[in-house]
Amino acid sequence: MRLPGPLIVGGGPAGAAAAIVLARAGVRPTVLERHAVPHDALCGGFLSWSTASRLQHLGIDLATLGAHPVERVRLLAGNRQTEARLPQRCWSLSRRVLDARLLARAEEEGAEVWRGAKVARLVAGGAELAGGAAIEAEATILATGKHDLRGAGRPAMSTDPAVGLRWRLAGTAALQAMVGGAVELHLFAGGYAGLALQEDGSANLCMAVRRSVLASAGGDPVRLLERLAARHSALADRIAVAGSDPGLAQAVANVPYGWIAKHPAQGELRVGDQSAVIPSLAGEGIAIALASGTAAGLAIRDGIDAARFQKRLARRAQFPVRVAGAIARVGANPLGAAAIIEAVGLMPALSGLAARMSRMGEPAA
Ligand SMILES: Cc1cc2nc3c(=O)[nH]c(=O)nc-3n(C[C@H](O)[C@H](O)[C@H](O)COP(=O)(O)OP(=O)(O)OC[C@H]3O[C@@H](n4cnc5c(N)ncnc54)[C@H](O)[C@@H]3O)c2cc1C
């Protein structure tokens, strides 16, 4: 089957942003999204003021969606903790709500969205669906995020790669009072856990941890959480006041933090996590997803070829990915975590500086 416009594989933030931009340019894209109904993604759901502004340009208003306002960042490790005001208001929103709204927005702008359509692999000039059907298109955007397609995989970046884990903590008044309007970053050896309240009063607990640390808990995420809580009292306090035992919601193996695509595999434009994977302790993957999706839409509109697009995007992503990587390495070491807490305690503006340096800027004119 031949599509009337570009093909976008994956309907997360990157794919939806590309679809909105293309539809607005009068180029009718088709998004193939493997999930048939709105779903949650493994993500902290933290959205900075600059991401809120990108979303605003795409026609999404976070306050209207009921996103939880976040004004402060709280850093915790062992029995140390400090907090600082963020430079501007940020937000926390479940990915179920954000992604559903972005895809709906793309449809409102004129994009076609096929839900429940899983792509098996890219081929020259298009893609092959999981059932074997061939889809042809004049251009293809790869936006499958954390999931690699056969033949277009991202390399492992480490012999001990990060594993992503997510739990949902049922909201109680005590938990809401404890976390309040802060995003919490609980630092521990080999990883971190991010915690923030979301639009429905529940809390999203998201963790990136070295595979070896998870293996030391027998590969069992719930046992790992119990072990961490035994050593980090603030984390234990939050779990204790949650409305139910946190059952594991999601896990993703081998997150290739630090990877940046330098060129396409099959002539596609790679966006979001398929273009650059920023360490999530200090970086904001959704910001890169929206910026790269937007850039890919504009590149197709302007007739820029995939190789040139990818090179330009790689240049834009390099500095923020490096800065976020350096912060993550320091934070994953107990002495480094203590030093970060000390430094932010003495100079709260450091957290805002780190946030600014780990965000992707606008393209050079
Ligand atoms: C532990 C952790 C915490 C994080 N916390 C944050 C945070 O707080 N804030 C932040 O900004 N970023 C955070 N990130 C990063 C963020 O989750 C990603 O960068 C972001 O989701 C990337 O968006 P995307 O659109 O590229 O991919 P995704 O969000 O992964 O979306 C990809 C879409 O493609 C679909 N898809 C996949 N395969 C196929 C297929 N074969 N066929 C059709 N459709 C397919 C999926 O169903 C999905 O809808 C975190 C990451 C981790 C690991």
**Helix ranges (DSSP H) in 26-122:** 49-57, 95-109
Sequence-distant (6+) residues with CB within 8 A of 244 are: 169, 170
Is the CB of residue 14 below 6 angstroms from any atom belonging to ligand 1? yes
Is the CB of residue 144 below 6 angstroms from any atom belonging to ligand 1? yes
> How many angstroms separate the CA atoms of 259 and 276, rounded?
6
pLDDT, tens digit (0-9, with 9 covering 90-100), for 111-148? 999 999 999 999 999 999 999 999 999 999 999 999 99
Q: What is the pLDDT of residue 335?
A: 87
- Whether the predicted pLDDT of 16 surpasses 60: yes
Is the CB of residue 32 below 6 angstroms from any atom belonging to ligand 1? yes
Nearest CA to ligand 1 atom 8: 44
Reference 354, options 89, 164, 162, 87; nearest CA is 87
Is the CB of residue 208 below 6 angstroms from any atom belonging to ligand 1? yes
Ligand 1, pocket-test mutation among 286, 292, 313, 360, most atoms within 8 A of CB: 286
Q: Which ligand 1 atom sits closest to the C-alpha of 196?
A: 8
pLDDT, tens digit (0-9, with 9 covering 90-100), for 342-365? 888 888 778 777 777 777 777 654
CB 193 within 8 A of CB 229: no
How much is the average pLDDT of 239-252? 84
> How many angstroms separate the CA atoms of 236 and 230, rounded?
7
pTM to 2 decimal places: 0.96
Is the CB of residue 280 below 6 angstroms from any atom belonging to ligand 1? yes
pLDDT, tens digit (0-9, with 9 covering 90-100), for 75-99? 999 889 999 999 899 999 999 999 9
- Average pLDDT score, the chain: 93
Is the CB of residue 276 below 6 angstroms from any atom belonging to ligand 1? no
Using the mean position of ligand 1's atoms as its centre, give its distance from the Cα of residue 233 in Å.
30
Output the CA angle 232-236-241, nearest 5 degrees. 155
Q: What is the pLDDT of residue 365?
A: 47
> How many angstroms separate the CA atoms of 69 and 198, rounded?
9
Is the CB of residue 126 below 6 angstroms from any atom belonging to ligand 1? no
Is the CB of residue 295 below 6 angstroms from any atom belonging to ligand 1? no
DSSP code at position 67? P
